[in-house]
Amino acid sequence: MQDDPPVDSFLSQLGEGYTEIEVTEIKQYIAEWNASTYITRLLEQLTVDYKNTKEERKKIGSLFPTSDEEFTLLEEIELLTVDIRGYASQIQTRGWIENEQDAIKQLQDRRIFSVPAIAQFYFATNGDYRQLKAYIQMLDYLRLLMLEYLHSTNRTTQDSIHQRSQPKSSQGE
């Protein structure tokens, strides 16, 4: 068929002698490795981007004094940065996140534009603060990418456990 992906001869050789389930697990591992590598690169780029926002953050600090809100705009950005980059650092160093279900819930709940101070700043300042806005976008992209990664690894782990618990006759051997 035309829609079938091309056969990777190296991967086919690699899969010789393994069950279909084991080959599927190897493919998933490769996909997860690629995703964690991309998360690592994005984290490194965010570090550079954050340093490049220094002047804009100074300007914001002087123009947007403390308000009646619990946290200032810059404090809200810092809180999100610490949470999101902290999870990304765990993926970078370990390949997994401790308390994965809690992390998934927190990443789902920490929508960047649901923070009033950030949304107001982002949409009300027109063309100003381009670097900080790009940083905010990239931070949210990293959050979404990690959610996808965590859902993928969580689903794969559950599928693998389920498949291994099945009798061998139902595993397609």
Tokens encoding 84: 């999101």
Query: pLDDT tens digits, residue range 117-146?
Result: 999 999 999 889 999 999 999 999 999 999
Locate the domains of the chain by residue range. Answer: 20-161
pLDDT at residue 65 above 60?
yes
The per-residue pLDDT for 173 is 44
Among all chains, which residue has been given the structure tokens 């780029």? 45
2 vs 12: CA distance, rounded Å? 19
Q: Of 46-55, 101-110, 137-146, 160-169, give the lowest mean pLDDT range.
A: 160-169
**Residue 68 backbone phi and psi in degrees, to 5:** -75, -10
